[in-house]
């Protein structure tokens, strides 16, 4: 078995209640050693609580947590082989960067030469060697976050835990720090668990994305899996920006999909005539065509111009909206009627409860 086939972190039946309120409902999750795993989901879904339970900062109400095969459920944070990086940086303002980096190691009574070596290495990896004598107040936000990450690196943890580490940075800095974190993962090869509500971070950083809703896992998979094959309308609507178009439709008697008064072919064997379904299609998979076979008619409302990309907002029938990503050369004026279609293999179907059926 190679190192990467081993198990980094395993959660079984993990629950959390605050008083009478249960917020995490029995999570089972296995994270491969060395994987970069991102927890995403709407505000309040339990991402941070789950991460804090893995860190040992929050007690589990039920279930078990193992790190590299060792049950750590009842261990102190310092005994778990983890290091956590917080959104707030949590640096000591009166200490120099060097002392901030060394602090945890000094507390653990690590030898001085070992401390110097690890601090030097971390500073080099993060390119903060020239800042070692400054205090946090003399650093930019991005530099502070580097020091916070450095403090995690010097501990040589088995698992890095990141709780929205880039949320306090401006948009440009977020992008460059995101690349830094990806580089760090490539260089160090540790298991990393990262909480964010930013799905671009999730898509670009993750080997595996875990999508949470109301304290439960909705889907786990590679960014591509969850984008192309969402298991339900929640995941389909959550991953991707703009989101997947999710349109109310129904099966026709002939096994086609009736959508806004038009019929389009469906590549599904089982169907129940008249049953309501949800038809899903991503904006980039929609094509504008000349005629009405296997297509639906829509009215163009307005176009959003984003430089390299243009999105056309259309109305379908009386009440449904649809976003289409325009291709190079396509140009359609507001108010015009268009016929739209999509390659059959890109069409997604969900039942009335939102579960994927094809």
Ligand X SMILES: Nc1ncnc2c1ncn2[C@@H]1O[C@H](COP(=O)(O)OP(=O)(O)OP(=O)(O)O)[C@@H](O)[C@H]1O
Binding site for ligand X (CB under 6 A): 18, 23, 41, 43-49, 197
Taking the complex as a whole, the smallest distance from the CB of residue 181 to ligand X amounts, in Å, to: 18
Contacts of 107 (CB under 8 A, 6+ apart): none
Nearest-5° angle of CA 283, CA 284, CA 290?
A: 90
Question: With contact defined as beta carbons under 8 Å apart, do 227 and 238 qualify?
Answer: no
Q: Closer to ligand X at the Cβ: 234 or 251?
A: 234
98 within 8 A of 133, measured Cβ to Cβ: yes
Dihedral sign (CA 87, 92, 93, 99): negative
* Residue number with CB closer to ligand X (20 or 306): 20
Smallest distance from ligand X to CB 146, Å = 23
Minimum Å gap between C-beta 161 and ligand X is 13
Read out DSSP for 49-115?
A: HHHHHHHTSS--SEEEEEETTEE-TTS-GGGTTEEEEETT----TTS-HHHHHHHHHHHTT--HHHH
Tokens of 23: 């917020």
Q: CB 14 → ligand X: shortest distance, Å?
A: 13
- The DSSP code for 232 is B
- In the complex, what is the shortest distance from the CB of residue 215 to ligand X, in angstroms, rounded to a whole number? 7
Rank residues 57 and 75 by Cβ distance to ligand X and give the closer one. 57
Q: Between 43 and 353, name the residue whose CB sits nearer to ligand X.
A: 43
CA distance 102 to 107: 9
CB-wise, 161 or 288, nearer to ligand X? Answer: 161
Q: Which of 49, 143 has the CB closer to ligand X?
A: 49
For the CB of residue 17, give the shortest distance to ligand X in the complex, in Å. 9
Residues 6 or more apart whose CB falls under 8 angstroms from that of 116 comprise none
Nearer to ligand X, 43 or 241 (CB): 43
How far apart, in whole angstroms, are the C-alpha atoms of residue 103 and residue 155?
A: 10
Full strand arrangement of the beta sheet holding 257-259: 262-264, 257-259, 245-251, 276-281, 348-350
Question: Do 39 and 195 contact (CB within 8 A), yes or no?
Answer: yes
Kindly state the smallest distance separating residue 230's Cβ from ligand X, in Å. Answer: 19
């Amino acid at each position: 078995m190679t190192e990467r086939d081993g198990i980094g972190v395993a959660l079984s039946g993990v629950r959390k209640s605050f008083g009478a309120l249960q917020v995490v409902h029995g999570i089972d999750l296995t994270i491969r050693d060395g994987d970069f795993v991102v927890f995403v989901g709407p505000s309040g879904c339990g991402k941070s609580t789950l991460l804090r339970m893995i860190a040992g900062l929050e007690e589990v109400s039920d279930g078990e947590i193992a790190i590299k095969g060792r049950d750590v459920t009842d261990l102190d944070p310092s005994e778990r082989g983890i290091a956590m990086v917080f959104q707030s940086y949590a640096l000591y303002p009166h200490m120099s960067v060097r002392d901030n980096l060394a602090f945890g190691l000094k507390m653990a009574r690590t030898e001085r030469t070992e401390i110097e070596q690890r601090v030097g290495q971390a500073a080099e990896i993060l390119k903060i060697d020239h800042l070692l004598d400054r205090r946090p107040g003399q650093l930019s936000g991005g530099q502070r976050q580097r020091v916070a990450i450095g403090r995690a690196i010097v501990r040589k943890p088995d698992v890095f835990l990141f709780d929205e580490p880039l949320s306090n940075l401006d948009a440009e800095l977020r992008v460059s720090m995101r690349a830094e974190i990806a580089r760090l993962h490539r260089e160090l090869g540790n298991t990393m668990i990262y909480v964010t509500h930013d799905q671009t971070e999730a898509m670009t950083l993750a080997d595996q994305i875990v999508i949470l809703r109301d304290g439960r896992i909705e889907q786990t998979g590679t960014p591509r899996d969850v984008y192309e094959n969402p298991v339900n309308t929640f995941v389909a609507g959550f991953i991707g920006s703009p989101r997947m178009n999710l349109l109310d439709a129904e099966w026709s008697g002939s096994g086609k999909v009736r959508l806004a008064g038009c019929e389009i072919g469906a590549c599904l064997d089982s169907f129940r005539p008249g049953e309501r379904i949800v038809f899903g299609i991503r904006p980039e998979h929609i094509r504008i065509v000349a005629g009405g076979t296997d297509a639906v008619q829509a009215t163009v409302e307005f176009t959003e111009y984003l430089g390299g990309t243009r999105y056309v907002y259309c109305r379908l029938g009386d009440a449904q909206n649809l976003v289409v990503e325009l291709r190079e050369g396509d140009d359609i004026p507001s108010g015009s009627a268009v016929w739209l279609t999509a390659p059959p293999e890109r069409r997604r179907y969900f039942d009335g409860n939102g579960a994927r059926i094809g």
